[in-house]
Amino acid sequence: MDAAPQPQSVPLAARLLMHLDIGLLIVALPIFIGAGLPILGWIGGSAVYVIQKLLGELLGRSAAQADDVSGLLGVMVGGVLARGFFVALGLFGVGMLNNDAGASAAFLFLAAFTVYFTMALVLRPYKAQGRTK
């Protein structure tokens, strides 16, 4: 009896690169402390980034379960708009508490998103082959 062919495993380097954006958030904490930047900026930027990333994952799973194209597009477009508003309001809220914290939170968010977007483009062949989640 032959065993079913197993998909090739994703290399460890690719699995680590998928989470490089979260690594950036962790590495940024000592930088914030050493540079004397407001910790509220790190907390706010990291929290907004992680929450919007989790929302995106939940919306992606919900869209994958949609029965028709209009349901898929409704979830994805609505999700993108909702996540954008959440990010804007979250960063604006941090800025209302402390101007410097708001600026550093926005910078941290944009840095993490840039790393995520770059890694999504680099690792696209793995997703296209269905070898990653």
In the chain, what are the domain boundaries? Answer: 13-126
What pLDDT does 117 receive?
Answer: 94
Q: Which residue has the higher pLDDT, 108 or 5?
A: 108
Q: Do residues 109 and 47 lie in contact, with contact meaning Cβ atoms separated by under 8 Å?
A: no
* pLDDT (tens digit per residue) in 48-85: 999 999 999 898 888 888 788 887 888 888 889 999 99
Tokens of 78: 């609505």
Q: Do residues 25 and 46 lie in contact, with contact meaning Cβ atoms separated by under 8 Å?
A: yes
Q: Do residues 55 and 86 lie in contact, with contact meaning Cβ atoms separated by under 8 Å?
A: yes
Share the mean pLDDT of the chain. Answer: 87
CA dist., res. 112 & res. 52, Å (int): 12
pLDDT greater than 70 at residue 43: yes
Q: How far is CA 49 from CA 8, 9, 23, 55, 130, in A?
A: 31, 28, 12, 10, 25
| DSSP letters for 90-116 | HHHHHHHH-HHHHHHHHHHHHHHHHHH
pLDDT cut 70: percent of the chain above it: 87
pLDDT greater than 60 at residue 1: no
What is the average per-residue pLDDT within 38-48? 97
